[in-house]
Amino acid sequence: MCIPLSLKVIWKSSLAIILLNFFSCTDHKEPELTGTYDLLIKNGQLIDGSGGDAYKADILIVADTIAFIGEVNAENISVDTVIDASGKVVSPGFIDAHAHGDPQKTPRFENFLAMGVTTICLGQDGSSTEEPMASHFTKLNQRTLGPNIVQFIGHGTLRKLAGIGFSENPTAEQLAQQQELLQEAFDAGIYGMSTGLEYTPGTFATDEELIPLAKIVGQNDGMIMSHVRNEDDDQIEASIRELLRQGQYCKVQVAHMKSVYGKGKERGERLLKLIEENPADQYSVTADVYPYNASYTGIGIVFPKWAKAPNNYNEVVRTRRPELLAYLRQRIMDRNGPEATLFGTAPYAGKTLAQLSEEKGLPFEKVLLGIGPNRASGAYFIMDDALQESIIVHPKTMICSDGSPTMRHPRGYGSFAKIIEEYHINRQVISLEEAVRKMTSFPAQTIGLAKRGLIQEGYYADILIFDPSAIKANASYENPHELATGFENVIINGEVSWQKEQLVQTAGRSLRKNR
């Protein structure tokens, strides 16, 4: 049928008038929500993780996904569970960029859930599982995980698997095997490689080994998390620059950034300039940091390289005893004396090196000589508060715990709560919006976690509900395994996992890159 042109014009004009009248009468309101939802969080103050200001909004969740953010009229929808967040902050779940633990042994990781952590990154400091990553992921999928797990592969582990071990001069065949193993791990779903260059066997690696590995990391859009070669104040700049050489080929991150016996805000700012001034055409350089001034690691950290594997310790003691004793004494004095070393493993747990020295009636260096480099771990009070604070508040650093469920150090139980309690509430050196960004979207974007780290429609529903003034980091060096309190609801993949200071259900997943 042919319609005259004049009638077409009249019809279009009439339709335009009808539509204009419709939108004028409805004041441009969106259609009312209808349907069925699993969870409604209403009346909360949203800090969405972007760093922007808080705003009031409701959130609707379907299965594991944020379906709607805005004002919700609950009369028109069906909701299984409603949480009233009046007077509370609603934020994304925190992401721990550097954590430790064995998900096969302690899959619930309640210490992390209690401080609002919904995702942890494992396989740090150059050490990870030695089984093939594909097999490891299969096993993780069979576990009931508390938080989500992000997996890195350790460079030291690659050395062992490729038969390099403690060699300073790996063969071309060994290096090729190491690179193949790294690529296989990426194919399975890892997010990157970690290095522990202050530990054996990582300490034996040179640029000739590390740069080709960095290229593979970059080709897979991964990143290197690095415990740099030396964290002492007179060596830390050179150690960061070594990492920057790898950063020409992939994203790199300074793990648990610190300066051992460095002092002052100005010193911290000078170190931070190394990551600030990275050229724009290179890959990103970032850092993570925990809010405690004592580190924690094996006692081997105070022993010289020549007294550790692959060298025979007993033989070193027999042939170089005076030299070793002198080294240990000077090393401990450089690290704030024997009072600043607090043992965390039996039978010495809870005692300082000074106390052990007094109990045994021996100079502290002889106590260490008898213990050896492999039979104890401890906390070392070797960091300056002003310097570390400058790192914590810097925009290119994210927060980590460097902790685990079993480590005798409060950082594994309190780090994320302490950022809010100490640095936001008490010291007022960081806004809550910025603190949340550093614990959510920034690590998610840097590591490459798809659809996590923000409260945004279409993103996974990893969400916290809390009153900032109620957050408490209860762990101490005397009682390091006290759970944090104040995070009223911890929601992981749309499920309420932690509520009223206890585990409700496990809903974490093993996350795999590009899967």
Domains of the chain: 93-294+382-450 (3.20.20.140), 297-380 (no CATH)
- Give CA–CA dist 65/462, Å, rounded: 9
Minimum mean pLDDT range among 12-26, 261-275, 332-346:
12-26
Distances (CA, A) of 425 to 40, 324, 468, 469: 29, 46, 8, 7
Q: Can you say whether the dihedral through the CA atoms of 385, 386, 388, 394 is positive or negative? A: positive
Using DSSP, state whether 441 is helix, strand or coil: helix
Residue 32 pLDDT level (bands cut at 50, 70, 90): confident
- Give CA–CA dist 430/291, Å, rounded: 13
Distances (CA, A) of 480 to 385, 405, 407, 410, 412: 20, 10, 8, 4, 8
- Report CA Rg, the chain: 26
Question: Could you read off the pLDDT of 242-277 as tens digits, one per residue?
Answer: 999 999 999 999 999 999 989 999 999 999 999 987
For residue 363, whether the previous peptide bond is cis, meaning omega lies within 30 degrees of 0, is no
pTM over 0.75: yes
Per-residue b/e over 335-345, b at no fewer than 16 CB within 10 Å? Answer: beebebbbbbe
Determine what percent of the chain is predicted with pLDDT higher than 70.
93
The answer for 261, left when phi > 0, alpha when psi is -120 to 50, beta otherwise, is left
Per-residue model confidence (pLDDT) at position 281: 56
Q: Give the distance, in angstroms, between the CA of residue 67 and the centroid of all CA atoms in the same chain.
A: 27
Q: Can you say whether the dihedral through the CA atoms of 150, 205, 256, 252 is positive or negative? A: negative
Question: Is residue 341 a contact partner of residue 353, using CB atoms and an 8 Å limit?
Answer: yes
Per-residue model confidence (pLDDT) at position 280: 52
> DSSP for 371-414?
H-TTS-EEEEE---HHHHHHHHTSTTEEE-----SS-SSTHHHH
For residue 347, whether the previous peptide bond is cis, meaning omega lies within 30 degrees of 0, is yes
Residue 38 pLDDT level (bands cut at 50, 70, 90): very high
Minimum mean pLDDT range among 4-8, 175-179, 221-225, 502-506:
4-8
Q: Are strands 487-492 and 495-499 parallel, antiparallel or unpaired?
A: antiparallel
- Give CA–CA dist 437/295, Å, rounded: 24
> DSSP for 43-72?
EEEE--SSSPPPEEEEEEEETTEEEEEE--
pLDDT for 75 beyond 90: no
Q: What is the mean pLDDT of residues 495-512?
A: 97
Report the residue count for the chain: 515
Question: Is residue 78 a contact partner of residue 477, using CB atoms and an 8 Å limit?
Answer: no
Contacts of 433 (CB under 8 A, 6+ apart): 47, 51, 52, 53, 54
Question: Is residue 508 a contact partner of residue 490, using CB atoms and an 8 Å limit?
Answer: no
Per-residue model confidence (pLDDT) at position 279: 60
Question: Is residue 430 a contact partner of residue 471, using CB atoms and an 8 Å limit?
Answer: no
Average pLDDT along the chain: 93
Question: Could you read off the pLDDT of 348-370 as tens digits, one per residue?
Answer: 999 999 999 999 999 999 999 99
- Give CA–CA dist 255/124, Å, rounded: 9
Per-residue model confidence (pLDDT) at position 144: 94
Half-sphere exposure of residue 360: CA atoms within 13 angstroms, side-chain side: 18
- Give CA–CA dist 19/12, Å, rounded: 11
pLDDT for 1 beyond 80: no
pLDDT for 7 beyond 90: no
Per-residue model confidence (pLDDT) at position 515: 74
Residue 30 pLDDT level (bands cut at 50, 70, 90): low
Residue 108 pLDDT level (bands cut at 50, 70, 90): very high
**Other Cβ atoms closer than 10 A to 329:** 16
Q: Are strands 463-466 and 89-92 parallel, antiparallel or unpaired?
A: antiparallel
Distances (CA, A) of 51 to 164, 284, 430, 455: 45, 19, 11, 12
Q: What is the mean pLDDT of residues 479-486?
A: 97
**What are the start-end ranges of the E strands in 271-326?**
285-289, 294-298
Residue 76 pLDDT level (bands cut at 50, 70, 90): confident
- Give CA–CA dist 268/263, Å, rounded: 8
Residue type, 22: F
Q: By C-alpha distance, which of 253, 265, 277 is closest to 393?
A: 265
Residue 2 pLDDT level (bands cut at 50, 70, 90): very low
Question: Could you read off the pLDDT of 382-437 as tens digits, one per residue?
Answer: 999 999 999 999 999 999 999 999 999 999 999 999 999 999 999 999 999 999 99
